[in-house]
Amino acid sequence: MKTTLTVNAREYDVDNDPRRTLLDTLRDDLGLPGTKKGCDHGQCGACTVLLNGERVNSCLCLTAMHDGDEITTIEGIGSPDKLSALQEAFVKHDGYQCGYCTPGQIMSATAMLKEISDGAPSYVSDDLQTASLSDAEMAERMSGNLCRCSAYPLIREAIAMASE
Ligand code: FES
């Protein structure tokens, strides 16, 4: 039996080993190494992807539970010839140092900007339901994505630029 996933608008039938994480399926089975493995325990955000449009830590998702779901990875955002607005902003603002966390940061920021334009989900407190975020508010919303190089100010500058 197989699990069917739509990843970056392409359909895949993958092994539905009940122990396999979505992160390992993406990287090892589908050859999409842009999604990074950091902690493998839901702590760092390096493995962030969009699952039906919502940001999730793919290391905490079991592939077999996502039959029929739509996944977007960093490979599905922009292209080498045409970067997304966020990717361009990260380049312009040096929103990285070693770059390992960057795919997760960009996927998380992509979802965050969509949350703002669509109306924030209920778990976000009322004082954060604003269209333009302060630096502190953005830091809170991006707190699930760690950067061991501590490039946080540049990452937030890049996101702010892309949201203008
Ligand atoms: Fe998934 Fe760190 S690798 S949160």
- pLDDT of 91-143, one tens digit each? 999 999 999 999 999 999 999 988 887 765 544 444 444 456 789 999 999 99
Pocket of ligand 1 contains residue 43 by CB under 6 Å: yes
Distance, CA of 142 to chain centre: 10
Give me the CATH code for the 85-163 domain, please.
1.10.150.120
User: ipTM of this complex > 0.85?
Assistant: yes
Q: Which of 36, 40, 61 to mutate to test the pocket of ligand 1 (most atoms within 8 A of CB)?
A: 40
Domain range annotation of the chain: 2-76, 85-163
pLDDT at 125: 47
Of 9 and 113, more confident:
9
Q: What secondary structure letter does DSSP report for 64? A: G
Q: Which helix (H) or strand (E) holds 48?
A: strand 48-51
Distance CA 70, CA 74 (A): 14
Distance CA 97, CA 90 (A): 11
Pocket of ligand 1 contains residue 46 by CB under 6 Å: yes
The arrangement of secondary structure in 2-76, i.e. its CATH architecture, is Roll (3.10)
pLDDT tens per residue, range 79-95: 889 999 999 999 999 99
